A and B are shown apart, each in its own frame.
Chain A
Amino acid sequence: MPVKSDHRSVDPAAIAMLKIADQNDIDNIWERLEKQQPQCGYGQLGTCCRICTQGPCRIDPLGEGPTRGVCGATADTMVARNLARMAAVGSSSHSDHGRKVALLLKAVATGENTDYQIDNVEKLQGVAAKLGISADGLTTLELADKVADAALDCFGSQTEAAIQFAAAYMPQRLQEQLGKAEVALKDITGARIGLMPRGIDREAVDILHRTHFGCDADPLTLVAQTVRCSLGDGWGGSLIATELQDILFGTPTVRTIKANLGVLDAEMVNIIVHGHEPILSEKVVELARSAKMNKAAEAVGAKGVNVAGLCCTGNEILMRQGVGVAGNLLHSELAIMTGAVEALVVDVQCIFPSLADLSSCYHTQFITTSEQVNIPGAIHMQFEEHDADKIAEQIVQKAIDAFPKRNAAKVYIPQETAEAVVGFSVEQILAALGGTPGPLVDVIANGTIKGVVGIVGCNNVKVKQDLFHQELTRELIKRDILVIGTGCWAIAAAKAGLMNLEAQELAGSGLKAVCKSLGIPPVLHMGSCVDCSRMLVLAGAIADHLGVDISALPLAGSAPEWSTEKAVAIGSYFVGSGLPVHLWPAPPILGSPAVTQILTEGAKDLLGGYFFVEEDPTATAERMLAIINEKRAGLGI
């Protein structure tokens, strides 16, 4: 199918599928966005408060109407409360994911669960050592039990002390910097304001309490708690998810995978796993590869069972199992439209409810598995960790049973795929460097590489799919800036061939030379969105190696097509850790001059990190280069 440009996506596979959607009048997210126009400005500006039933109250941004809600809340209060709630939800989503992994590790350690095993003993020992847990005289399972307890304690801790994971993983200098910021905040407000997270759940609950009717109204303290809760995600919940998944399923290693809808195979039973948690998808992959299930597939006339990933579940299994990835967020409907997907198996987060209706137009079995995600029209097959093998087998069988119902006339799989070298855990990056961040620091210090930018986040239907991800990445590597990242950005970069070794040719001469000598692409896939914690750990390792603050390093972050509350938490923990963070689209804060000032300027003095908004990829790259050069000058390099 000839590929023409399309205002909805830059991905040729997406453009081909959208043509089919247009021809057949299939409902999709781009159409629904148009039908929602015009969208409410109060919501976009953050000045709508629905917290009590004396409202809803809205503060108009022009100062024409009332300047206070019924209770007296100003636009500043409303925006800050709404932002804090976004961070609480985002942080809770990542952290609840982490909790489930910790509970599974505990169950494996106690022998309660025998369907899973500890894959990476070395990582377990490393995590234990980091937490100060002695392995002396302990069996692997006993050690795992202690690590699981330490992780679980981070969620429910009721003391004022920082959670153990944050205290162990966060560079000492960052902890000191946050301590100084706490003192500065006390000087300004008179209030005791903490920034180090005391308990992962507690910091989210604190926001729920603080933003209840008649509590915190000060934008500064509300933003401070937003940062604290988010740090509990980045250096807590997400970090726990990453580290314990590495223990259970293996630390990612470098491998080559295929990306885009072409990973679907017209002759096989195609199962797409979509969502975020690898606990289920690891099992689906394991079962799908088993001789038994492949035989069952052959019995219905298929060549075998093919699993492909979508979104962050896709990232988890491509990093660890080398499974091909069908696409990122905006591919989820398009994948079903190929007519070649027998089952779309989902766990949690970023799953459009629309997938149920769409699946019913095909033979696709849309299977929900989490008690937290129930979608009318879907088939719910409750996943139980203790019975994982059996349930995963039933799911794969369900897909195989659907294969004969596939309508060949509806099948179209766009063949565009790209190869991507993925699997860059911190451990793999350090291994590539010879064990320490030293060589990376050296090439940054001598200017061969100017700095590092971490790009994260979603697709947002308001932004042409992957356009910002791709262009920003290209512009950065052209400027000798190494790009690392996670989430839907990583899938965008993989689909665009930017994680291919051939992409070295797109990099500036310095970055190109470094990548060639290490045999790596100039754009590194670090995992799923909880794996943003890997970027924090890497930044910390570089800062510690140099003996400087993270905020002094030539690093920056970006979420150029962000859409979810999780991204608010990620952006906030990057900023809280000292990093400048670019956002597009603009967050719902412009209704408040105070919150806008705090996030874009005030935070810089207090935390070292800050947010900025820019809608043009090239201008963003220029601004990041300027930031990196400013940091380099600060370091005298």
Chain B
Amino acid sequence: MKKIFVDYKKCVACKGCEIACAIQQHPSHSLYALVGDKKTQVNVRVLGVEHEAFPVSCRHCEPAMCLDACPSGAISRDPQTSAVVLNPDICKACAMCAMVCPFDAVSFKQTHRAQYGRTVAYKCDLCHERLQEGLNPACVDACHSNALVYKESDELSNQRAVQNLKVYLLGDEGEPPLFSLYRELRRKEFARRRSDKS
């Protein structure tokens, strides 16, 4: 099973994934064209949950609840990549997909793909066209810190297990100490800011 895996501890909230997604989805594929363009579609959102950040997007479930729930048949599965894709021409914006999505990964607006100025559902399409060209999803390529990776699950879990075992068995350094310090200071900053106690 090949998926976009999120390692949230590595996410530094730079939102590079959001920008890369917007460029990929924009008809011009240009950063400068999307500035101020309200129809720009961004399929991944880096959400802050206190001091942590998490890039939220469609998990391309199988079976997909949105696909099952869609009464108009706008949502289908791409046979080559297993991506759950949405056809804006058929979408009736009934929001059944959004209601059943356990990851809140479906949004609505007038996108460039929507015809006649209609508001439609939009979501991550796994960049399935890029995948067919042998590329990674745009967000994954944009992520420097490897918080987002597109890999076979076995490959990734083995890789992570070996890395963790190196720390456990060989005493290798895990996370760089200054990065751990940075995370810890951010946690404390938020905890103190949220506290009602003086």
Which A residues have a C-beta under 8 Å from some C-beta of B?
A: 5-7, 10, 37-42, 44-45, 58-66, 462-464, 467, 471, 585-586, 590-591, 593, 596, 613, 615-616
B38 within 8 A of A: no
Complex Cα gap A64–B174 (Å): 12
Contact with A along B9-29 (1 / 0, CB 8 A): 011111110000000000000
User: What residue in chain A is nearest B149 (Cβ atoms)?
Assistant: A64
- A464 contacts B14, CB within 8 Å? no
B185 in contact with A615 (CB, 8 Å): yes
Chain A residues with Cβ below 8 Å from B179 are 61-62, 590
A45-B12, A61-B182, A64-B144 given; A5·B46 CB < 8 A: no
Closest Cβ neighbor of A59 among chain B residues? B144
Interface string of B157-198 (1 = CB under 8 A from A): 000000000000000000110110110011011001111111
Q: What 6 A-B pairs have minimum CB-CB distances, sorted nearest first?
A: A41-B12, A38-B48, A65-B144, A37-B48, A38-B13, A60-B145
Task: State whether B145 touches A64 (Cβ < 8 A).
Answer: yes
A61 touches B185 (CB 8 A): no
Q: Which residue of B lies closest to A58 (CB)?
A: B144
CA distance A585 to B143 in the complex (A): 27
B53 A38 Cβ-Cβ under 8 A: yes
Do A615 and B192 form a contact, CB below 8 Å, given A40-B12, A44-B182?
A: yes
Q: Is B81 an interface residue (CB 8 A)?
A: no
CA distance in complex: A526, B185 (Å) = 31
Please name the residue on chain B nearest to A615 by beta carbon.
B188
Q: Give the CA-CA distance A590 to B13 in the complex, in Å.
A: 16
| Additional A-B contact list (17), CB under 8 Å, known A40-B13, A41-B12, A66-B144 | A38-B46, A39-B48, A40-B12, A40-B14, A41-B14, A58-B144, A60-B146, A62-B10, A62-B146, A62-B176, A62-B179, A462-B193, A464-B192, A464-B193, A590-B179, A590-B185, A613-B185
Residues of B within 8 A of A596 (CB): 178
Please give, as numbers and ranges, the residues of chain A lying within 8 Å of B15 by CB-CB distance.
Answer: 40
A62 touches B175 (CB 8 A): yes
Q: How large is the interface on B (under 10, 10 to 19, 20 to 34, 35 or more residues)?
A: 20 to 34
Contact (Cβ within 8 A) B144 A60: yes
Chain A nearest CB from B42 CB (Å) reads 15
Q: Beta-carbon contacts of B36-67 to A below 8 Å, as 1s and 0s?
A: 00000000001110001100000000000000
Q: In the complex, A586 Cα to B176 Cα: how many Å?
A: 17
Q: Which of chain B's residues 78-112 have a Cβ closer than 8 Å to chain A?
A: none
Give the most central of A59, A66, A615: most B CB within 10 Å: A615
Q: Interface majority SS on B: helix, strand, loop or mixed? A: mixed
Cross-chain pairs A/B with CB under 8 angstroms, 6 sampled = A45-B12, A62-B145, A464-B193, A471-B198, A586-B182, A590-B181
Chain B residue contacts of A66, Cβ below 8 A: 144
- Chain A proximity of B176: nearest CB distance (Å): 6
Scan residues 99-140 of chain B and give those whose CB is less than 8 A from a CB of chain A. Answer: none
List of A residues within 8 angstroms of B193 by Cβ: 7, 462-464
Q: Which residue of A lies closest to B16 (CB)?
A: A58
A462-B189, A585-B185, A615-B192 known; A591+B178 contact, CB < 8 A: yes
Residues on A with C-beta less than 8 A from B143 are: 65
**In the complex, what distance in Å separates the CA atom of A21 from the CA atom of B178?**
39
Q: How far, in Å, is A578 (CB) from chain B's closest CB?
A: 26
Contact of A65 with B14 in the complex, beta carbons under 8 Å: no
A433 to B196, CA, bound (A): 42
* Complex CA distance for A62 and B52, rounded to whole angstroms: 16
The answer to whether B196 touches A6, judged by C-beta atoms less than 8 angstroms apart, is: yes
Contact A38 B146 (CB under 8 A): no
Q: Please pick, from B145, B192, B194, the residue contacting A65 in the complex, using a CB distance under 8 A.
A: B145
CB of A250 to closest CB in B, whole Å = 37
Bound-complex Cα distance A591 to B146 (A): 16
B182-A65 in contact (CB<8A): no
Q: Which residue of A lies closest to B184 (CB)?
A: A615
Report Cα–Cα, A615/B187, bound state, in Å.
11
How long is the Cα–Cα vector from A407 to B138 in the complex, in angstroms? 54
Which residues from chain B contact A593 at a C-beta distance below 8 Å?
A: 178
Task: Identify the interface centre among A42, A61, A464, A613: most chain B CB within 10 Å of its CB.
Answer: A61
Compute how far the CA of A613 lies from the CA of B181 in the bound complex, rounded to whole angstroms.
11
B residues less than 8 Å from A61 (CB atoms): 12, 145, 176, 178-179, 182
Q: Is the CB of A39 within 8 A of B13?
A: yes
The listed residue (A7, A37, A463, A613) touching B196 by CB distance below 8 A is A7
- Residues of chain A contacted by B12 (CB below 8 angstroms): 40-42, 45, 60-61
Closest to A30 in B: B193
Across-interface contacts of B188 in A (CB, < 8 A): 615-616
Nearest-neighbor residue (CB-CB) of B144 within chain A: A65
Complex formed: what's the CA distance from A586 to B51 in Å? 15
Complex Cα distance, B27 from A172, in Å, reads 67
Contacting residue for A590 out of B47, B182, B196, CB 8 A: B182
Question: How near does chain A come to B98, taking the closest CB pair, in angstroms?
Answer: 23
Residues of B within 8 A of A40 (CB): 12-15
Q: Which residue of A lies closest to B186 (CB)?
A: A44
Min Cβ gap B73→A in Å is: 37
Which of B144, B182, B186, B198 is the one whose CB lies under 8 Å from A464? B198
Take A38-B53, A41-B12, A61-B12 as given contacts and tell me if A463 and B192 are in contact as well, using a CB distance cutoff of 8 Å: yes
Identify the closest chain A residue to B50 (Cβ): A37
Q: Could you tell me if A64 and B195 are in contact, using CB atoms closer than 8 angstroms? A: no
Q: Decide if B198 touches A5 in the complex (CB within 8 Å).
A: yes
Query: When chains A and B are docked, how far (Å) is the Cα of A59 from the Cα of B193?
Result: 28
Q: How far is the CA of A41 from the CA of B194 in the complex (A)?
A: 20
Known: A5-B197, A10-B198. A64 touches B10 (CB 8 A): yes
A586 nearest in chain B by CB position: B185
Q: Which partner residue on chain A sits nearest B51 by CB separation? A: A38
- Among A7, A593, A596, which residue has the most Cβ atoms of chain B within 10 A? A7
How far apart are B19's CB and chain A's nearest CB, in angstroms? Answer: 11
**Which residues of B have CB within 8 Å of A62?**
10, 145-146, 175-176, 179
Are B13 and A41 in contact (CB-based, < 8 A)?
A: yes
- B175: A residues at CB distance < 8 A: 62
Assembly CA distance A616 to B47 (angstroms): 27
Residues of A within 8 A of B48 (CB): 37-39
